[in-house]
Each structure stands twice: as structure tokens, then as C-alpha cells.
Amino acid sequence: MQLECFFDSLCYQFTQLPKGRYEFHPDQAFEKYCYITNHDIGDKKVAFLLEGFDSVEIEGNGSELIFHGQIFPFQFENCKKVTVKNLSVDWDIPFLFQGEVVAVNEQEGYRDLKPTTEGFSWKVEDGKLYFPDTGGFSFDEPGQTLPWDPEHKRVSHGAWDTTSQPDRVEELEGGIVRFHEKLKNYPPVGSILGSKGTKGLNRYSPAFHAIFPATCCSRTLWSTTHSAWASWLSVLQTSLYQAAGCIYLKAVTGWFPSSPTRLTFVIRREM
């Protein structure tokens, strides 16, 4: 990855990415112990780690940033002014299993799904579902699971947020996967059922994380475009930005869980 960078001590950094597609892997990323609101606490592999600058500007020139496995894209700590623009952030494989509910049998206690395959990674082995099966990491149960209404593009009416731990998972003919599990509330046929894995392990990091200094008195503008697999993991990654003081979030587009979409965020902080 070739970057054009300008440094003036710790006062200002400007980074310009020539337009292109950039691939990021965790093996040579920065490692840092991170506390992130509503995310799993612990050691993180960080691709872009910037700390203590008065001003940071990253110009993406329309580039695509593709991340592989468990890696934390951007962290800005104690930077007074941050601008990120004209780039998209995505993962090669989302940390999600999802599929259309094609049959439910409450008496026998199972549900059948037609899984989404394009761009996703999963396998059924020894009666268990493993996903995303990438970078040496997998969940071995669906975990936190919620149905979505594809027509209205929202959570299904009356849906329950379920912690799914099936007794057995099996593959049937026609690409159908059957989950043997007695539930108090079954997802409606035709809904898109998404699972994001075991609670406590399924919120590695947001795409962007910023901690602004309490003494910051200048206006901070942070503008970026996130092109993500429209899944729960991506929503968490793109919506959970944090900073000390006031944050304003606007210009958020809608999304649908079965196809990639573009989310645009503008964050402004003024004292």
C-alpha cells in the first residue's frame, strides 16, 4: 500500500490514497488493548492508528478499503480535528450468517433456511454451523439471531431477539439448512433471518472509533462513506461512533439485509 503522507511533528498529518482497491490483513496491524462502548473489550489489531494530532486528514480519492478477518479499520485518539473522505470500507467476508426462512415446524421444533451464499462463508460439520470460517476464526452456533421483513425493510413485526443454540444442524437437498431447536417464538416464513454469533465475541470493533480530547475547542468534521454488507455486524460497525462531548449524526441512508448498500455518515462536534 503506497500512501502520500505529510507530517509536521504531531500537529498535522495529511494522507492521500491513490484511487484503487486496498486489502488489509491483521497479521501486521498495530495491536492495542481497547475499551470501546458496546463492543468487546480486549486486544485489537488496528489498521489505521492515529494518536495525539491537532489535525488529521485522509483523502481516499474514491478508493475501496477491504478488510480481512478480525481487524479494526480506524482509531483516532486525542486528535482535535479529523477528516476522512471519499473512501469506502468493507469486509471481504461478513461476520454473519443469514438466509430466507422457507419452512417452520413448531411441533417438531425446526426451521429451514435457504442461506445467502454469495460473499458469505459458512459450513455445517458434525451437526453444528460454523461461520464466518475466515482468518482462523469461526462461531460454532448462530448466537444472537433476529428476523427481518424484506418487504418493509425492518425488523419483523413481533420479532424476538433470540440466542440460538440448536441441538443439531443439518444440510438438506436443494441447499436448505435445517436447525433443530425448540423456540418460544419462531421466525415468520419469508423473513430474512440473520445470526451474528456468540454474545461477547461478536462485536470486535466499529469501522471507525474516535476519542476526542476534553479540551478540544475547535470544530471537528469527520465525513466518510461506508460501503458494507448490510447486516447487523455492519450496522454496529457503522453506527457506533463515540467521542467525549456532543456528537451529531446525520445523512444515514436506509439499508436492506440481503445485499450490500452504502451508508453515509457526517459527524460534527462543536464546542
For the chain, what are the domain ranges?
Answer: 4-93+203-269, 97-195
| Alpha-carbon separation of residue 199 from 142, 196, 235 (angstroms) | 10, 8, 16
Distances (CA, A) of 237 to 195, 218, 230, 241, 252: 15, 26, 11, 8, 13
Angstrom distances, CA of residue 198 to CA of 59, 128, 162, 173: 36, 14, 11, 28
Helix (H) or strand (E) holding 15: strand 12-16
Please work out, in degrees rounded to the nearest 5, the angle formed at the alpha carbon of residue 55 by the alpha carbons of 73 and 46. Answer: 15
Determine the Cα–Cα distance for residues 226 and 239; give it in Å rounded to an integer.
10
Separation CA 74–CA 46 (nearest Å) = 7
Q: Could you read off the pLDDT tens digit of each residue along the chain, which spans 271 residues? A: 444 444 455 577 777 889 999 999 999 899 999 888 788 888 999 999 988 888 888 888 999 999 998 999 988 888 888 888 888 888 899 899 999 999 999 999 999 999 999 989 999 999 999 999 887 889 999 999 999 999 999 999 989 889 999 999 999 999 999 999 999 999 999 999 999 999 888 888 888 888 776 554 443 333 343 333 222 222 223 333 333 333 333 333 333 333 333 333 333 333 3
In Å, how far are 166, 172, 208 from 169, measured between CA atoms? 7, 10, 35
Per-residue model confidence (pLDDT) at position 214: 57
Contact indicator for 56, 75 with CB cutoff of 8 Å? no
Cell of 120: 458469505
Grid coordinates belonging to 27:
497479521
258, 116 in Cβ contact below 8 A? yes
* Cross-strand partners of 55: 12, 81
